[in-house]
Amino acid sequence: MTIIKIKIDKIISSGDGLGFLDGKAHFVPQALPNEIVEVQVIENKKGFNRCKLLNIIKASEFRTEPICKYYNICGGCNMQHTIYNNQITIKKDIIQDIFRRNGKIELEDFEFVESKDINYRNRIQLHRGNSGIGFKRRQSNEVVEINNCPLLVEKLNHFILNKSYPNENKITLFSNGINHFIGGKDSEAHAKILNKDIYFNPGGFFQSNISILPKLIDLVNRYVVGPRVMDLYCGVGLFSAFLPESIQSIVAVELDSRVKPFIDRNTNGRNITFFPMSLEEYILRGEHEKSIIDTIIVDPPRKGLSDEVRNFLKHISCKRVIYISCDPTTMARDIKDLNEHGYKLIEFKCLDFYPNTNHIESFGVLDFE
């Protein structure tokens, strides 16, 4: 295969470095901006090449030694080769680039809420290998067996080291720092957040970094307006559970009907109406026409808001939308559409839920004008 020398211009949303040679894009994992690197072209496409990093000819001043012995082998994280402050800088640049291209929005300098960069993950999904468990290699189904991960809270590392896991091909683990819970075996897990126990299914979705959750909850509460709130893609009712006492009524919608017992427990005493259905079905049934809403909270999956949901937001009488996203590309698309139909983005922040990886959690506030 072809071996070339190339300068890296920037990091893209996948975490790969991007450089150009003769006008053609080259994607290089584990490279950093302004580095000159020697790479091997391993995939030659019409519009781009995928490359393997062979040698760093001129290293970035922000490069550092990875803290994990499995780095570059397992697919668990991809930014350990640069210092944490530079990870934040890179992620800011990625966000601004995405919003410029996909949202036609120029984001000025914005707050990026930081997290501790090791021992932060409370939830993990592991796969069984030949003699142990681990993560899959990047773009592969091969399992890299591990006995430690520096991103995990210590309770999970002890669990892996003691090999006390069930005989399953895929294992979901959660630890609240004191106890551990196994998805599929334990029907209920709990974590203390802002001095309140929040309950959920350890095999279902829940944020993997609970240490930074209070900051996200604080942002939601800071920007919620009016006494009537709609919590869409509500999960186990995390945001509803912490809404200010001034909130008089909550409408919550979640596709997974199994979360109802957790919502009831987490929002005990609140005036909440729960609809166990997809948001699209909720809209189709016209249920929203029965409610007057001041603030809508949306926390969609990676695919973002569907056409039906965006149209719903365009036409409902609502003062404010709080948008929480795990994918800045779809968030930028959605906000562009809403901006063109009467909304204005008045606040934007990011939270680093997943240090040492390329993943970014974003927070936006849109007012209808």
Tell whether the model's pLDDT for residue 290 goes beyond 80.
no
Q: Retrieve residue 121's tokens.
A: 């993950």
CA distance 262 to 187: 11
Q: Tokens 């994992």 map to which residue? A: 29
Confidence band, pLDDT 50/70/90 cuts, at residue 43: very high
The single residue listed with the structure tokens 């590392």 is 157
3-state secondary structure of 135: strand
pLDDT in tens, 81-93: 999 999 999 999 9
Burial pattern 188-208, b for ≥16 Cβ within 10 A else e, equals ebbbebeeeebbbbbbbebbb
pLDDT at 129 exceeding the cut of 90: no
Q: Tell me the average pLDDT across 239-262.
A: 97
Considering the candidates 68, 77, 234, 326, report the single residue annotated as catalytic: 326
Query: Where does CATH 2.40.50.140 sit in the chain?
Result: 3-63
Reduced to 3 states, what is the DSSP secondary structure of residue 297? strand
What is the pTM (predicted TM-score) of this model?
A: 0.95
Residue 170 backbone phi and psi in degrees, to 5? -130, 130
For the segment 102-107, the average pLDDT, to the nearest whole number, is 96
Average pLDDT, the chain: 95
186 strand-pairing partners: 183
Residue 52 forms beta bridges with which residues? 40
Q: Cα–Cα distance between 333 and 305 in angstroms, integer?
A: 9
Q: Using alpha carbons only, how large is the chain's radius of gyration in Å?
A: 22
93 contacts: CB under 8 Å, gap ≥ 6: 10, 11
Looking at residue 75, its pLDDT comes to 85
In the DSSP assignment, the letter for residue 233 is S
For residue 207, say whether it is annotated as part of any ligand binding site: yes
The answer to whether 299 is a known ligand-binding residue is yes
Helical H segments across 232-300, by residue range: 238-242, 260-266, 279-284
Any bridge partners for residue 19, and if so which?
Answer: 8, 26
CA dist., res. 230 & res. 252, Å (int): 6
- Helix or strand run (H / E) with residue 275: strand 272-276
Alpha helix (H) ranges present in the chain? Answer: 84-102, 154-161, 213-223, 238-242, 260-266, 279-284, 307-315, 328-339
Superfamily, domain 3-63: Nucleic acid-binding proteins (2.40.50.140)
- 326 part of the active site: yes
pLDDT at site 369: 86
Inform me whether the pLDDT recorded for 29 exceeds 80: yes
Domain with CATH 3.40.50.150 in the chain: 91-115+212-368
β-partners of residue 10 are 18
Residues 6+ apart with CB under 8 A from 118: 67, 150, 151, 355, 356
Query: Is the domain covering 91-115+212-368 a CATH 3.40.50.150 domain?
Result: yes
Q: What are phi and psi of 352, to 5 degrees?
A: -90, 75
